[in-house]
Structure 1
Amino acid sequence: MMNVRQLQEYLNKSKAVFELKEHDEPLKNAKDAVNYFDAELVAAVYVIHTERGLAAMIVNAERDKMDTESINYVLGYKVKGMADPKLVRQATGYDAGFMPLIGHGLPILFDKGLTIHDYIYGSTGDPRYTVKLRPEDVIRLSEMLAFIE
C-alpha cells in the first residue's frame, strides 16, 4: 500500500504524466468525483473475485453494472462477482471504496472506452486526493489482463 507521497514518487520515477488534486472535502467514492470532474473522465476501480483470484476492474464511474458474461468470455474463466471488502483490504491494504488507479498490486481489466481520453481521474487510495493520469500510464504501470467493453 502506498500513501500519496509514495505514489507521487513512484509516478515520477516511472516517468508518468500526472497531476495530484487535493480536495477540501474527502471524496467518498468515484460517484462523488463526478461532482468535481467531467463524468466521462472519472475512472472507478472495483475489485472482482475470479476463479484465478482477485482482479481490479477499472471502468468509467458512470457504469452501473458489470457484464459478467462478457468478462468471462474475455478472460476465458469465470468471474464469481464483486470481491468481499475484507478480502480486498487483506490483499491490497486498501479499503474497497478507495482503490487507487495504480499501486494496488492486482492485475487489471481496463475499460476500453477510457482509452480515447488524453487523461482520466481516479483515486489515489486517499479520499483527500485524486490523480489525473494518462490511461496509457495506468495500463503501462499495471499487470494487464484484458480490455473490456
Structure 2
Amino acid sequence: MDMLKELLQQNDVDYEWISHDRPIRTAQEGAAMLGIEVGQTAPTLVLKSENGYMALILSGSRGRIELKSVAELVGCSQLKMAPPHEVEQITGYTVGSVPLAGHALPTILDRELYRHSSIYGGTGVGTNTLKIKPADLEKLNQVIAFLPALPE
C-alpha cells in the first residue's frame, strides 16, 4: 500500500484513496458501494502464458473475457488465469486485491476504461480502492497492449 502511494506521488498523479469496511468482490458490488457505473470498476487480473505472467486491467462492463483473443493480441499461444497461489507468489497480493499499478508486470489495458474520466480498482488491500484517471494508470504501468473498446 505504501509502495503504491509512493509511486503515485513520485509520478505526480491525481488520485483518491477510498477506504470501506469490507472488501469488494465483484464489479457490480463495487459499483453499488462506490456509487459509480460498472464500467468504471477496473479489476487487475494476473494471466499466465508460456512467456511468463502479465496483468490485465479490465473495465467491469466487459463481462467475460475471451482469453484466446487476448493471447493473439499479445502474441502468445495460450493464456490462462494464474492460480491464486501463483498470483500471491508473483505479486505479493491475493486475488481480488492486486493493485492497479506497482505490481511490476507487463500490462494489458482495456480501452473501454478510457470512456470514463475516473476508474476505480485495487490498492493491494481489500478494504481500499484507488480512484485514478485512465491516462495516469497507463503512465504508471508497462503497457504492452490495449484491448479494443466495445462497440457502442
Q: Same fold (TM over 0.5)?
A: yes
Normalising by structure 1, we get a TM-score of 0.89
Aligned to 1:12: 9
- 1:16-49 alpha-carbon deviations (Å, 9 max, x no partner): 1111111133323544212123212111111111
Is this contact kept in 1: 2:120–2:132, CA < 8 A? yes
User: Gapped runs of 5+ residues in structure 2?
Assistant: none
Deviation (angstroms), 1:116: 2.5
What is the rounded CA distance, in whole Å, between the counterparts of 1:106 and 1:93 in structure 2? 12
For residue 25 of structure 2, what is the amino acid of its counterpart? K
1:38-74 CA-to-partner distances (Å, cap 9, x unmatched) read: 2121111111111211111100123332222321221
Count the aligned residue pairs. 146
1:102 paired with 2:101, answer yes
1:56 — aligned with what?
Answer: 55
| Alignment RMSD (CA, Å) | 1.6
Report the TM-score when normalising by structure 2: 0.87
Matches within 5 A, 1:18-37: 18-35=15-32, 36=34, 37=36
1:78-93 aligned at under 5 Å gives the runs 78-93=77-92
Paired residue secondary structure (1:127): coil
Percentage identity across paired residues of the two chains: 32
**Residue identity in the other structure for 1:10:** L
Q: Partner of 1:146 in structure 2?
A: 145
d(CA) in 2 for partners of 1:143, 1:78:
21
